[in-house]
Amino acid sequence: MIVKKSLLLASPLLLLFACGIKDRNENIKIDYLGQQSPGSTAKEFAQGIVSTDSFEHSSPVFSPNGDVVLWNILSRSRPDYLLEAIYENGKWSAPHRPSFGDSTADDYYPSFSTDGKTLYFSSRRQEPAGYVHRDMRIWKVERNGNKWGAPVPFDTTVSKSHEYSHSVTDKNTIYFSTSQVGQTSWNIKKASLADGTYSEAITLPFGINSVNYEDGAFIAPDERYLIFESQRAEGIDGSIDLYISFKLDDGRWSMPVNMGPAVNTGKTERMAKISPDGKYLFFGSNRNPKPGSWGFDIFWIETSAINALKDSSLARVAIEQPLGDNLLKALEDGDNDRSAQFLKEWTAKYPGDMEGMRTYVGVLRRQKKYEEAEQVIASMPEEWMNSQMFKVDFAIIKFALHKNDEAVAIIEPLLVPSEELELRYWQIINGLTDTGLYDFADTYFEKLAAGGMHPVHIYNRACFYAKAGEKERAFRHLDQAVDNGYNTISQYENDTDLTSLKTDARWDKLRKKLK
């Protein structure tokens, strides 16, 4: 299978670390590619230099002394690559690929150590002899003066496969995201360094992680706060938003807070980075589409103007680590009974956590306790039903209870043309699929495909159905993928997700269409 990565707000935000960050680096003077400060309103960063018609897939990362900046580009023709610019003699060079770049493999998501001597990045490049080949792992490369060394794989105790979006503290504790976490999508992990050796990575607890997507971790150098991206019930119009969690005085993490309309919109916000002088928050967003542009642009805003929710009631609530760890483990394992038990405790302890309540509804749905799930949603605060994701959940439960007209009446208003229309469709399709309502899921999948879709998504759906034992649906989607140009024979023959299909008479017929 090919994997492509492709919320209601609390009160207004309170001052975001303006003093704490600046105190540590107040003497740093960085030229931000000649750009004027954006002030308290998020603005597109470095149009025509960083923000271009390309797909920018990371925020720019400046070295602590400001002499180099790197960022990530997704290529239309692959592989994906890094760009850098060098500051010399009072001016910036033109963007170019760094000397350690690999023209044969994807490179992603640069981040500096806090002393600027090491750059970390993710890559699918071939490892040196003695390393087991992985799909994508973390690499590091040393910088000596203005020269890059030779990249090497990062500690294999930590980086095992498919690690991404990393951030490193003063003590070289590394935070990163990975998809190798069972049944809970992408989650954030951390690994600590002691006496020159990294510990096994641990997954951050439920509350920070969820059954949904968590990625793009940025950790403060002193670990006082963590910024990350997630798609949650609290998100604006159900979009992927940036969230922040604070380290409380007793060492526990606070419940995450949506960073609010100063940063987030009803579009997607991702890939947060704080500049080394602490003055600016950089992030990617698709909020401002332009003709010819096909992905994210980079935005920035002064940190002193982001009224962060540090003193909000939610940010002062500590995550009970044992409960959060036990709950996340049950969700990762797909143990619905244990998950439901822990979620009852969680929602009683954190009644204001919309994402916890939504997760509980999802587990009830997987247990086929549809009437109970319907009652839970009906008993929620009325304002929660403004959440895009709860509306989708409610509609799916209505379908499961054969209340189709009520379900359609909820869903159709969500499918009006917008920049986030595809995201809405995927929420519906994935929810229906997860509930086993394949006919309804396929109906909405076909509606989405009718507007144009990369055939890899059709192929991935076929893989799901093959593993689920739905051979008729699997072959139908494979035929569609082939007809839409996804027809490389080696991909089909080598994909173990399709093993159950290869003894079927229809497999030979399909193979004749491949190249």
Domain boundary among 316, 343, 374: 316
Interatomic CA distance for residues 372 and 23, integer angstroms: 52
Interatomic CA distance for residues 429 and 51, integer angstroms: 32
In a domain, 7, yes or no: no
pLDDT per position as a tens digit, 458-493: 999 999 999 999 999 999 999 999 999 999 898 899
Interatomic CA distance for residues 124 and 352, integer angstroms: 41
Which residues is 281 bridged to in the sheet? 274, 301
In a domain, 309, yes or no: yes
Q: Give the 3-state secondary structure of residue 82.
A: strand
In a domain, 191, yes or no: yes
Identify the pLDDT of residue 26.
59
Q: Total domain count for the chain?
A: 2
Q: Which of 423, 429, 397 is nearest to 410 (CA)?
A: 397
Q: Which residues of 26-43 are buried (b: 16+ CB within 10 A; e: fewer)?
A: eebebebbebeebeeebe
The type of residue at 91 is: K
245 lies in the same domain as 370 = no
One-letter-per-residue 3-state SS of 310-348: HHCCHHHCECCHHHHHHHHHHHHHCCHHHHHHHHHHHHH
Confidence of residue 307 (pLDDT cuts 50, 70, 90): low
Identify the pLDDT of residue 405.
97
Residues in the chain: 515
Indicate the helix (H) or strand (E) that contains 400: helix 388-400
Domain boundary among 316, 335, 352: 316
CATH number, domain with residue 112: 2.120.10
Contact between residue 285 and residue 296 where contact means Cβ atoms under 8 Å apart: yes
312 lies in the same domain as 325 = no
| Dihedral pair phi/psi, residue 483, rounded to 5° | -65, -25
In a domain, 326, yes or no: yes
287 lies in the same domain as 363 = no
339 lies in the same domain as 245 = no
290 lies in the same domain as 372 = no
364 lies in the same domain as 336 = yes
340 lies in the same domain as 310 = no
In a domain, 497, yes or no: yes
In a domain, 1, yes or no: no
pLDDT per position as a tens digit, 417-450: 877 788 889 989 999 998 999 999 999 999 999 9
Which residues is 398 bridged to in the sheet? none
In a domain, 3, yes or no: no
Q: How many CB atoms within 10 Å of residue 129?
A: 5
Identify the pLDDT of residue 305.
56
201 lies in the same domain as 338 = no
Identify the pLDDT of residue 325.
96
Mean pLDDT of 209-217: 93
- 127 exposure class (CB count in 10 Å sphere: 0-12, 13-18, 19+): middle
346 lies in the same domain as 297 = no
In a domain, 26, yes or no: yes
Mean pLDDT of 298-311: 79
Domain span at residue 367? 321-511
| pTM reported for the whole predicted model | 0.85
311 lies in the same domain as 359 = no
pLDDT per position as a tens digit, 117-136: 999 999 999 999 988 887 88
Domain boundary among 262, 282, 316: 316
23 lies in the same domain as 153 = yes
CATH number, domain with residue 380: 1.25.40.10
Interatomic CA distance for residues 316 and 120, integer angstroms: 32
132 lies in the same domain as 43 = yes
Interatomic CA distance for residues 416 and 399, integer angstroms: 20
Please give the structure tokens belonging to residue 112: 């500096």
